[in-house]
């Protein structure tokens, strides 16, 4: 990276990679410590995942009033949400408001992708290079790159020959995409597709959904936010936020105490029905305590959803195809929808099973499966992400002794608390693998990580340490613990992106931490109070 004739690199105390929810708040907190900080962002504006995911129907599965920052009571009170679940444009407006209110943009550099982050042990500094060839240096390097920001674009044969237009949900164009009168194919039936399909179906002349694996989905039961309810929640915000912070998944719900197997089938069904009517995450999936740990309990909720699909979808053959059978309920991310299953009752929508008849190629005029060709004017790849490790591996990250992160993690991610990794001093990850992250309300987890990192940096400063590094031993113990907790559940049974199973050759390792955000927070706080137990601090 160094050439003798190149100009000296611009120097900062901290460099943050990414200006999504995590990078924005990290900048705010580091500024509060008086650190000279620069944020690099590949997009042209703040927002991260919400900047890129502009596909039709994109909306958060977490309720607006909970999917928002809690660090500023003024911000919390002044922002008015309009719907139970915020749409992508509304979240983007909110994040723009946050950026303006706290004048974040002045320390952000947009349209700039970080390509290299190399640790220089002699200087105890990170050398950062961006895609415009510029070099920077900083004591701390903080990866705020998101968990689902590296799109998975499967390499279908013939895509370059396609004469229509094609899109990936995670890289949606900023200008309007109009499908009116077109024959559209959607590949994939995960959360993104399940949101987009009902919207595209309203525009397209014909919609073909190419499904490999059906998904469990619950209705969002979205509605306009009642101003009175918003006022009430805002009045109780401190307690509500605190409850979320100490909860299992970052939501202000009471944890279920009963097993699905200790009630009568009638009572169980009533409870599931009430959850279905309430809708969203924290509905049927949070009805009993053992739904993702006990296969028999799991089967009760899986069966409830299967019955719902049969009731909603008129064509029995389509309904059977839409029914998930091969993995337990909730072990792939539960989808939340608005009229997803209902959409298959439209005359212009066809479900195509590409499990039994795989996609063979994209042709100039459409898509060919092993049973025939589908004529298409547009293709939407809703094929997901190289989750959690993908965004980190997209950067050439090298620690002490030039070791690359990708090499170190070749058998799966190895972190201490999902915050740090041995051999990479002063490098922090926000919601990294090994932390609750994607199994939680992301904003709650992001704020916890950012607050912890801020306290840590303040501690180092106050005690005249220049370096912090996770110890190998602490990391090994944490990785073991993350795996042991996952193995107590049914999660490893699914071929999910949590397991890396959606990406060819990715190691099959359960990446997020299932111990719960409250317990995890306590653990992080305890070891910080214990002089950063498990880390080595150097003057």
Binding site for ligand N01 (CB under 6 A): 59-61, 148, 154, 169, 187-193, 195, 212-213, 333, 354, 359, 382-385, 438, 497, 502
**Residue number with CB closer to ligand N01 (42 or 334):** 334
d(CA 67, CA 527): 28
Residue 28 Cβ, how far from ligand N01 at the closest point, in Å?
23
Nearest-approach distance from CB 364 to ligand N01, in angstroms: 20
User: Residue ranges of the alpha helices (H) in 254-404?
Assistant: 265-278, 295-312, 316-322, 340-343, 390-393
DSSP per-residue string spanning 398-427: E-GGG-BHHHHTTTS---BTTTB-TT-TTE
- Please, which residues have CB within 8 angstroms of residue 236's CB and are 6 or more apart in sequence? none
Q: Is 361 strand, coil or helix? A: strand
Of 145, 122, 37, 115, residue with least CA distance to 467: 122
Q: For tokens 């947009």, what's the residue?
A: 110
Closest CB 48 distance from ligand N01, rounded Å = 13
Closer to ligand N01 by CB, 284 or 438: give it.
438
How far, in Å, CA of 20 to CA of 509, rounded? 26
Task: Output the smallest distance, CB 62 to ligand N01, in A.
Answer: 7
* CA distance readout (Å), 207 to 186, 316, 336: 7, 19, 20
Nearer to ligand N01, 188 or 219 (CB): 188
Q: Which is nearer to ligand N01, 30 or 387 (CB)?
A: 387
Phi and psi dihedrals of 536, rounded to 5? -105, 125
Q: Shortest gap between Cβ of 355 and ligand N01 (angstroms)?
A: 7
Q: Which two tokens stand for residue 310?
A: 């049969």
DSSP reduced 3-state for 9: coil
- Per-residue H/E/C for 111-158: CCCEEEEEEECCCCEEEEEECCCCEEEEEEEEECCCCCCCECCCCCCC
Using CA atoms, how far apart are residues 442 and 494, in angstroms rounded to an integer? 22
Query: C-beta of 284: minimal distance to ligand N01 in Å?
Result: 17
| C-alpha to C-alpha distance for 342 and 318, rounded to whole angstroms | 11
Q: Where are any strands of DSSP class E within 22-104?
A: 37-40
Report the residue number, 24 or 359, with the smaller CB distance to ligand N01. Answer: 359
Question: Smallest distance from the beta carbon of 360 to ligand N01, in angstroms?
Answer: 11
Comparing CB distances to ligand N01, the nearer of 470 and 494 is 494
Whole-Å CA distances, 69 to 25, 97, 238, 277:
9, 12, 12, 28
Q: Which of 430, 434, 454, 452 is nearest to 443 (CA)?
A: 430
- How far is Cα 123 from Cα 341, in angstroms, rounded to an integer? 58
Per-residue tokens: 68: 């928002």
Residue (291 or 438) nearer to ligand N01, CB? 438
Q: What is the bridge-based pairing of β-strands 183-187 and 366-369?
A: unpaired
Shortest Å, Cβ 55 to ligand N01: 9
Q: CB-wise, 184 or 354, nearer to ligand N01?
A: 354
502: helix, strand or coil: coil
**Cβ proximity to ligand N01, 253 vs 465, nearer residue:** 253
Strands 427-429 and 135-143: parallel
- Which residue sits closest to ligand N01, CB atoms considered? 190
Could you tell me the smallest distance in angstroms from the CB atom of residue 517 to ligand N01?
A: 16
Beta strand 135-143 pairing with 359-363: unpaired
CA 163 to chain centre: 32
Nearer to ligand N01, 60 or 249 (CB): 60
CB 46 to ligand N01: min, Å: 18
Find the shortest distance in angstroms from Cβ 270 to ligand N01: 28
CB of 225 to ligand N01, least distance (A): 17
Nearer to ligand N01, 145 or 438 (CB): 438
- Complex with ligand N01: residue 170 or 399, whichever CB lies closer: 170
Nearer to ligand N01, 212 or 365 (CB): 212
- How many C-beta atoms surround the C-beta of residue 67 within 10 A? 20
Least gap, CB of 190 to ligand N01 (angstroms): 2
For 85, which DSSP code?
S
């Amino acid at each position: 990276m160094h050439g003798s004739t190149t100009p000296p690199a611009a120097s900062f105390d901290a460099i943050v990679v990414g200006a999504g929810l995590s990078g924005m708040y990290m900048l705010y907190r580091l500024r509060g410590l008086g650190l000279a900080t620069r944020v690099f962002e590949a997009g042209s504006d703040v927002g991260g995942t919400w900047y890129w995911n502009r596909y039709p129907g994109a909306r958060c599965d977490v309720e607006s009033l909970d999917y928002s920052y809690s660090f500023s009571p003024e911000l919390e009170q002044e922002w008015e949400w309009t719907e139970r679940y915020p749409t992508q444009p509304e979240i983007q407006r909110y994040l723009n408001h946050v950026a303006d209110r706290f004048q974040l943009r002045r320390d952000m550099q947009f349209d700039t992708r970080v390509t290299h982050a190399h640790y220089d042990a002699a200087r105890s500094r990170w050398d950062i290079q961006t895609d415009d060839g510029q070099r920077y240096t900083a004591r701390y390097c903080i990866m705020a790159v998101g968990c689902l920001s590296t799109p998975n674009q499967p390499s279908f044969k013939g895509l370059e020959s396609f004469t229509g237009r094609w899109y990936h949900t995670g890289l949606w164009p900023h200008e309007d995409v109009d499908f009116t009168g077109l024959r559209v194919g959607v590949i994939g039936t995960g959360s993104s597709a399940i949101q987009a399909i009902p919207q595209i179906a309203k525009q397209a002349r014909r919609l073909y959904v190419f499904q490999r694996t059906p998904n469990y989905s619950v209705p969002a039961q979205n509605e306009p936010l009642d101003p009175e309810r918003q006022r009430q929640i805002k009045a109780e915000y401190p307690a509500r936020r605190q409850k979320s912070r100490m909860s299992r998944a970052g939501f202000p719900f009471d944890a279920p105490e009963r097993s699905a197997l200790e009630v009568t089938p009638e009572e169980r069904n009533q409870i599931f029905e009430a959850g279905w009517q309430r809708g969203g995450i924290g509905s049927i999936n949070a009805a009993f305590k053992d739904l993702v740990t006990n296969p028999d309990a799991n089967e009760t909720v899986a069966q409830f959803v299967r019955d719902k699909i049969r009731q909603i979808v008129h064509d029995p053959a389509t309904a059977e195809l839409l029914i998930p059978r091969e993995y337990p309920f909730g072990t792939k991310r539960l989808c939340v929808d608005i009229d997803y299953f209902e959409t298959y009752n439209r005359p212009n929508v066809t479900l195509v099973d590409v499990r039994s008849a795989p996609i063979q190629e994209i042709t100039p005029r459409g898509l060919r499966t092993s049973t025939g060709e589908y004529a298409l004017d547009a293709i939407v790849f809703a094929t997901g992400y190289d989750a959690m490790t993908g965004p980190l591996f997209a950067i050439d990250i090298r620690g002490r002794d030039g070791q690359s992160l990708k090499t170190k993690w070749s058998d799966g991610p190895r972190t201490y608390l999902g915050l740090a990794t041995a051999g990479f001093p002063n490098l922090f990850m926000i919601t990294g693998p090994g932390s609750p992250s994607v199994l939680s309300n992301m904003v709650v987890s992001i704020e916890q990580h950012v607050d912890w990192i801020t306290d840590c940096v303040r501690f180092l400063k106050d005690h005249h340490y220049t370096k912090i590094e996770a110890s190998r031993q602490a990391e090994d113990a944490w990785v073991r613990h993350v795996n042991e907790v996952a193995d107590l559940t049914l999660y490893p049974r699914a071929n999910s992106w949590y397991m890396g199973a959606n990406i060819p050759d990715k190691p099959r390792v359960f990446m997020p931490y299932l111990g719960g955000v409250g317990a995890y927070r306590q653990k992080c706080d305890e070891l910080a109070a214990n002089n950063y137990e498990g880390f080595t601090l150097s003057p």
